[in-house]
Amino acid sequence: MAGDGFLLKADGIHAGYGKLEILHGVSLEVRPQELVSVIGPNGAGKSTGFKTIVGLLRPTSGRILFDGKEVTGLPPYEVLRLGLAYVPQGRIVFPQMTVLENLEMGAYIESDPARVKEALERVYALFPILAERRHQKAGTMSGGEQQMVAIGRALMTTPKLILLDEPSLGLSPKFVTQIFDKLLEMKRAGYTLMVVEQNAAKALSVADRGYVLELGRNRFEGTGQALLNNPEVKRLYLGG
């Protein structure tokens, strides 16, 4: 763990696509067993920040420390092996495979069958519906159920930190509520989570701490409650 109690410390990150810089010195931190939400308008750099942390994009400057190790610019499979899991936006499942096969794909870096079985049991305890539907093809499930498959798959490596990019995107209100309930349940079960979310009010209401990004820079940070009550955050991002 980073010496100052942080599990993840992304410091002064500049990154983007080709010549287009999206992040202009963004900093994000997560302590063990925290649920941290990252909100902000479209184009603020939220997803770019996550992609840079997990190694899908290389930062042009800045440092990323995870669990006491420098991971700046490491490829995603190495970051994953260190215990950092990523659930990209868009409910990405293997549609022709069963739920069980999708979950097993998540454990590809784990060679011990006993540990895979333990991880499966933990996922089924968190998402009982996946146990019931384990022989169903993932592509035939509803959007919310597919999102549970995608999250369950990320949990199969028993990660130290899970980054979730827009977990409620495009889901029906019923499933939005369920996904946020599951995030809280995961936190209670001891997982550490960082969530990028369009649904700002809901994201802050479940967060220990939150960050507001705007145009690739840190705009506000604080406890979830403080940000919910901040008149400026309310006016700009919470539609109040």
Mean pLDDT rounded to a whole number for the chain: 93
Asked whether 27 and 64 are in contact (CB, 8 A), the reply is: no
What's the distance, CA 232 to chain centroid? Answer: 26
Q: How many angstroms separate the CA atoms of 168 and 203, rounded?
A: 10
185 within some domain:
no
Pairing of strands 193-196, 35-39: parallel
Average pLDDT over residues 106-118: 86
* Residue entry with tokens 């079960």: 189
* Residue entry with tokens 């006993």: 114
Q: How many angstroms separate the CA atoms of 198 and 175, rounded?
A: 15
Pick the closest to residue 138 from 86, 100, 90, 182 (CA basis).
Answer: 100
Terminal-to-terminal C-alpha distance of the chain: 39
pLDDT tens, position by position, 120-164: 999 999 999 999 999 999 999 998 999 999 999 999 988 999 999
Quote the pTM value. 0.92
Confidence at residue 155, expressed as pLDDT on a 0 to 100 scale: 93
Q: How many angstroms separate the CA atoms of 115 and 108, rounded?
A: 12
pLDDT tens, position by position, 168-180: 999 989 889 999 9
116 within some domain:
no
207 within some domain:
yes
239 within some domain:
yes
Confidence at residue 1, expressed as pLDDT on a 0 to 100 scale: 47
Confidence at residue 90, expressed as pLDDT on a 0 to 100 scale: 83
Pairing of strands 8-17, 20-30: antiparallel
Which CATH number covers residue 210?
3.40.50.300
In the three-class reduction of DSSP (H, G, I as helix; E, B as strand; rest coil), residue 181 is classed as helix
18 within some domain:
yes
Instruction: Please count the structural domains in the chain.
Output: 1
163 within some domain:
no
Q: Calculate the dihedral angle through the C-alpha atoms of 186, 188, 189, 192, rounding to the nearest 10 degrees.
A: 60
Note down the domain range covering 52. Answer: 1-83+195-240
210 within some domain:
yes
Residues 6+ apart with CB under 8 A from 9: 2, 29, 63, 64, 65, 66
205 within some domain:
yes
